[in-house]
Amino acid sequence: MPIRKPTLLCIDDDPQCLTVRRCLFEAFGFKVVTSINPRQGLRLHEYQRFDAAIIDYQMPGMNGAELSLEMKRVRPDVPIMILSGLPQLPAGARASYDIFMSKTDPTFRLVKEVQRLVETSGQKGEGESVPLRKRLFAAAGVALGFATAGASGVRQRILPRKPAEAQPHKARVASRSVISSAPHFRAV
């Protein structure tokens, strides 16, 4: 008899974060459904059974606190994790969630907490058995993906690139000077 994969609902307005989360949790044996729109995520939550939900806090239209309240009204038994770039929720934010984690928390802690949430939702087991090597590669890929995206994002904010159309003459001159200064070789 095949093992049923626990199903997670991930809601975040950043598609890159959702892709990274999908790769990470699928490597640990979870089935992952994603939504970039909080209202669409709420509809998915109403009509489909999930073992846990992982939602961002800062989203347009409906923040994670408001979304968690609505989700708990529909299905109070489904555990909810708010995963945010903020170190903590703003003071006075009314929310109904089971755990709060920052996106800066270690990946292994995130996975461990999600596995604990799934266990509390009544799902027995921790997902499909995935070889350790595959899990390590997934975790390394997630870490490198965050590092690469983070570095390129910072570089673009600090050193914004000028459009190539604004400097066509300089680009041609530079390429000609490189070609003309290259040594010439003759076939023997």
Tell me the per-residue pLDDT of 105-129, one tens digit each, with 9 for 90 and over: 999 999 999 999 998 776 544 444 4
Note the pLDDT tens digit of each residue in 7-45: 999 999 999 999 999 999 999 999 999 999 999 999 999
CA 51 to chain centre: 18
Largest Cα–Cα distance in the chain? 82
N residues, the chain: 188
Query: What pLDDT, on the 0 to 100 scale, is given for residue 88?
Result: 83
Domains detected in the chain: 7-148 (3.40.50.2300)
Q: How far apart are CA 107 and CA 113, in angstroms?
A: 10
Other Cβ atoms less than 10 A from the Cβ of 35: the count is: 19
In the block, tokens 């596995």 appear at 115
Q: How far apart are CA 179 and CA 134, in angstroms?
A: 46
The pTM score is 0.65
Q: What is the 8-class DSSP label of residue 151?
A: H
Give the helix/strand (H/E) hosting 27: helix 15-27
Percent of the chain clearing pLDDT 70 (strictly above): 63
119 to 34, 116, 147, 181: CA distances (angstroms):
21, 5, 31, 67
91 has pLDDT over 90: no
Other Cβ atoms less than 10 A from the Cβ of 19: the count is: 14
Query: What pLDDT, on the 0 to 100 scale, is given for residue 26?
Result: 94
